[in-house]
């Protein structure tokens, strides 16, 4: 590989809940994609910009590709997330297929088939190797997964513990075309602070609400204003609506005496202040919009795109 800088786009693909967003955050060096232990946490296509001495990777984080058995939200949401994931394969230079160490199922195969159909060079990242109880079983697992499947390279990694990431970056940069970085060294995403604020609030809904309720919630930021602050330099005033589909869900999100909503807002505000490096004043409301997750027109007004 020559010493010329390389710059290109990589689609990060995989079934839900394998750690795609955690891996993108680790490579970017900042939290731009929200995470939780629930499938379908990522609902939007999001660009993470990772700049290294040898070049730049534009990492397209995607919703998990899933079949009918993986569906939790409305049918329209399910279709839109699958289209967003598959649409990420257009115009990229390579794909990174992320799987969980020790597990390969029908949805992993579905993701691989989508990549093979797109004709992209595919790198396999076997994530969560730090959690593998039987390390000796990892080699036969890798042999089975790679049999009859053409991968440019295979990298056992732990996104959470940052294991194996340097070698992964070297491989990915080697697949990129020569060229100057498309973004500045300080840029980490193509999404606005307004978008990121809404996602950080939705992350707390995913983490703090039980059972199926998080899949019936979404966030709309109605106001995002910046003003000078004598203490922190900048203060962001943010008004956000948490949409649910039924009155009973609204009561659960608010909690007894508003306690749960206050806790959700507090944790989201702390995450925003950490990411924006500024003081945040956050106000939240919970409103009902019946059937929003199964209405493509409603989804588009709420900021969802293919």
* pLDDT for 186: 92
Q: Are residues 166 and 211 in the same domain?
A: no
Q: How many domains are contained in the chain?
A: 2
Q: Are residues 214 and 140 in the same domain?
A: no
* pLDDT for 69: 43
Structure confidence at residue 66 as a pLDDT band (50, 70, 90)? low
Give the tens place of pLDDT for each residue, 162-207: 999 999 999 999 999 999 999 999 999 999 999 999 999 999 998 8
| Cβ 260 vs Cβ 237: under 8 Å | no
| Cβ 171 vs Cβ 123: under 8 Å | yes
Tell me the C-alpha distance between 282 and 154, whole Å: 43
- Going 207 to 208 to 212 to 215, the CA torsion angle's sign is negative
Q: Are residues 136 and 207 in the same domain?
A: no
Q: What is the DSSP letter of 178?
A: B
Q: Are residues 167 and 92 in the same domain?
A: yes
Q: In sequence order, which residues have a C-beta less than 8 Å from that of residue 202 and are 6 or more positions away?
A: 34, 217, 218, 219
More confident residue, 212 or 150: 150
* pLDDT for 102: 92
Q: Are residues 43 and 159 in the same domain?
A: yes
| Cβ 89 vs Cβ 115: under 8 Å | yes
| Cβ 1 vs Cβ 142: under 8 Å | no
For 95, the domain range is 6-174
Tell me the average pLDDT across 101-108. Answer: 92
Structure confidence at residue 82 as a pLDDT band (50, 70, 90)? low
In a domain, 186, yes or no: no
Tell me the C-alpha distance between 144 and 138, whole Å: 10
Q: Are residues 11 and 150 in the same domain?
A: yes
Q: Are residues 40 and 141 in the same domain?
A: yes
CATH code, 217: 3.30.300.20
* pLDDT for 43: 72
Largest CA distance in the chain: 63
Q: Are residues 29 and 149 in the same domain?
A: yes
Look up the pTM and report it. 0.86
Q: Are residues 61 and 110 in the same domain?
A: yes
User: Of the given ranges (109-113, 219-223, 262-266, 274-278), which has the lowest mean pLDDT?
Assistant: 109-113
Q: Are residues 169 and 202 in the same domain?
A: no
> How many CA within 13 A on the CB side of residue 48?
24
Percent helix, strand, coil in the chain, to 5, is 40, 25, 35
The count of other CB atoms within 10 Å of the CB of residue 102 is: 17
| Coil, helix or strand at residue 62 | coil
In a domain, 187, yes or no: no
């Amino acid at each position: 590989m020559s010493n010329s800088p390389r710059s290109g786009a990589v689609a990060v693909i995989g079934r839900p809940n394998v750690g795609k967003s955690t891996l993108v955050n680790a490579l970017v060096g900042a939290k731009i994609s929200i995470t939780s232990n629930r499938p379908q946490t990522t609902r939007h296509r999001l660009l993470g910009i990772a700049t290294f001495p040898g070049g730049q990777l534009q990492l397209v984080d995607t919703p998990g590709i899933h079949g009918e058995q993986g569906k939790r939200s409305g049918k329209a949401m399910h279709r839109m997330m699958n289209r967003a994931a598959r649409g990420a394969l257009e115009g990229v230079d390579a794909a990174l297929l992320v799987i969980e160490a020790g597990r390969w199922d029908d949805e992993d195969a579905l993701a691989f088939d989508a990549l093979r159909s797109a004709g992209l060079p595919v790198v396999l990242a076997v994530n969560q190797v730090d959690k593998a109880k039987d390390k000796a079983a990892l080699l036969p697992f890798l042999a089975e997964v790679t049999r009859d499947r053409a991968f440019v390279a295979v990298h056992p990694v732990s996104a959470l513990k940052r294991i194996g990431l340097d070698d992964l970056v070297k491989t990915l940069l080697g697949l990129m075309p020569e060229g100057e970085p498309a973004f500045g060294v300080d840029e980490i995403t193509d999404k606005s602070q307004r978008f990121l604020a809404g996602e950080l609030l939705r992350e707390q809904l995913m983490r703090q609400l039980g059972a199926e309720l998080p899949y019936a919630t979404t966030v709309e930021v109605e106001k995002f204003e910046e003003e000078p602050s004598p203490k922190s330099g900048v203060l962001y005033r943010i008004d956000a609506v948490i949409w649910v589909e039924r009155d009973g869900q609204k009561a659960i999100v608010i909690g007894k005496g508003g306690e749960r909503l206050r806790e959700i807002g507090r944790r989201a505000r702390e995450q925003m202040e950490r990411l924006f490096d500024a003081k945040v004043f956050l106000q939240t409301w919970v409103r009902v919009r019946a059937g929003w997750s199964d209405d493509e027109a409603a989804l588009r007004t709420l900021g969802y795109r293919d």
